[in-house]
Structure formats: structure tokens, C-alpha cells
Amino acid sequence: MNQVIEKIEQSEEELRKIVREKYSEIALAPREKNSSSCCGSGGCSSEVASIFNEDYSSLEGYNEDADLGLGCGIPTQFANIKSGDVIVDLGSGAGNDAFVARSIVGENGKVIGIDMTEAMIAKARINNDKLGFNNVEFRLGEIEKLPVGSNTVDVVLSNCVLNLVPNKEKAFSQIHRILKPGGHFCISDIVLVGELPANLRKVAEMYAGCVSGALQKEEYMKIVQNAGFQNVSVKKDKQITIPKDILSEYLSNEEIESFYQSKAEIRSITVYAEKEGQSCCSGNSCC
């Protein structure tokens, strides 16, 4: 049993290393290169920016330097953020969603961005220094071991990052832990409906590109519910089509045609869910 656990942990660490290396490369690259790639996976079709990434440019709080073109939704759109809220943005990158969230929480709120890539944290801190916000901070850390206290956060955000986390059960358990009773999350992510071709599932580069690390949609939703969340709902759901020039790097022409003709789908979803509210103790008063 210990050997099995050790192998799983080694495999998960290998995946984290792949993601760190890829996103360190992205952090140091010009935005134009990132936004023309598949979730920043590098060197693929210029069409993909309009497929994965959403247009933030009209949103209050938008900062062009913080937008690396890596998202697959706009989680703040459905997050019911209020003035004064404490927000945590998981996989905060250069700070794009964190700065949009800060525009909503205002001076009395707080935004904490968490990323496991040192280069991303450095880039986000530089952007924040330019903006001069004293209620936004960026912390280095892994989503499976969040550097945030329990029951301290009103809203958790994340944009196209949970699919990159090797242990998604731990990730959602940590999200549940840090949220206050009655708090909630809003997460945009990539999921699957049907089976990807085996070659795509095996390729580490596609894992770092947000595709082969994605779960089946039903499994994803079950993990959220098993973590103890309630009122779980999908606020947005759209199909993603991977252009043929990207697929040709991993699949034969026959495999590509078979994939396109199959019922398998890659989908971008935005999920909302709540942590149960404060429960009453025995007696006449609540905890």
C-alpha cells in the first residue's frame, strides 16, 4: 500500500513539475505569444485565443499587463462578489481575475491570489506594485495545500486552472476548508464529455495545455458535491473545438477524423457552489 501511495505522489509531483515549467515559460513570454496558443500550451493555431479565452477588456479593473490570455471563462461574472468581501483567486497568474475582483470588493475588501509558479507570482506582484493596491496580495502555494486559514474567505475564484491540478479531490476539499460557512466559489474550467483519443490523454504537453488533465463533466460535478458543497450549478457551458493543426501534432489524420466524428466534446464550464451555512449547536444558541 505504501508503495502504491508513493507512486501516486511521484506521478502527481511530475505533473506539477510539467505545469510549473510550462507556466514559468509563459510568465516570461510576451502576451502575444501566449494568447495565440492553447491555454498557453505554446506554438499552436492563432484561432485558439478566440476559442478558449474570453474578452476581459471592457471589464472594470481590467489590466492589460495582467491578462496573459490563459483563461476559459470569466468567473467574476457569476461570482456574486460584494463590496468588502475577502476573495481568493486560485492559479492567479499575472493577476487578471484578481484585479477585476478587486474592482468589485473595493477598498474595504481583500483579494489574495495564489499560484505555484514563482515567475507568475513575481509578475503579479510587479503589476500590483504599478497599480498601488494595498489590499491585493499574491502568495506562492499549491491548490492542494492552500496557504490560507480555515473559514476565512467569502468567495473563491479560479479560471482554467483546476484541470491542471493532479489531485482534484484535495483541491476542492481545500476550497471547502478556507471558505466561511455560507461562502461560495465560482470556477471556470475545462471538462470532457465522452472519451478523448488515447494519444491526447497521454501527452504531457496537452496536460499543461488544459486538455488531457480535464475530467469527465459528470465526474467533476460529483467531486464538487462529495467535497460538501451545496446548490451546485453550471452558470455557463460551451463547447471547445481544437483546430486540426494542433491535433495533428499528436494524432494521425485518421485519428483526427475519428475524433471529430465521435461524440466526445471538450467543454468550458463555469461552476458555482456554496459551502453550507453556519449550523446551530444543541441548545438555544448557535455556534
- SS3 for the chain is CHHHHHHHHHHHHHHHHHHHHHHHHHHCCCHHHHHCCCCCCCCCCCCHHHHHCCCCCCCCCCCHHHCCCCCCCCHHHHCCCCCCCEEEEECCCCCHHHHHHHHHHCCCCEEEEEECCHHHHHHHHHHHHHHCCCCEEEEECECCECCCCCCCEEEEEEECCHHHCCCHHHHHHHHHHHEEEEEEEEEEEEEEECCCCHHHHHCHHHHHCCCCCCEEHHHHHHHHHHCCEEEEEEEEEEEECCCHHHHCCCCCHHHHHHHHHCCCEEEEEEEEEEECCCCECCCCCEC
Domains of the chain by start residue, with CATH = 2-275 (3.40.50.150)
Question: Tens-digit pLDDT profile for the chain (287 aa)?
Answer: 443 333 334 477 777 777 777 777 767 776 555 544 444 434 444 333 345 678 898 999 999 999 988 888 999 999 999 999 999 999 999 999 999 999 999 999 999 999 999 999 999 999 999 999 999 999 999 999 999 999 999 999 999 899 888 899 999 999 999 999 999 999 999 898 988 777 777 665 555 556 667 889 999 999 999 999 999 999 999 988 877 887 887 788 888 888 888 888 889 999 999 999 864 333 333 33
* Phi and psi, residue 226, nearest 5°: -65, -20
Q: What is the per-residue pLDDT for 68?
A: 86
Query: Which three three-digit cell numbers place residue 246?
Result: 494542433
Its pTM stands at 0.84
Q: What is the per-residue pLDDT for 98?
A: 98
Q: What is the per-residue pLDDT for 3?
A: 38
Q: What is the per-residue pLDDT for 203?
A: 61
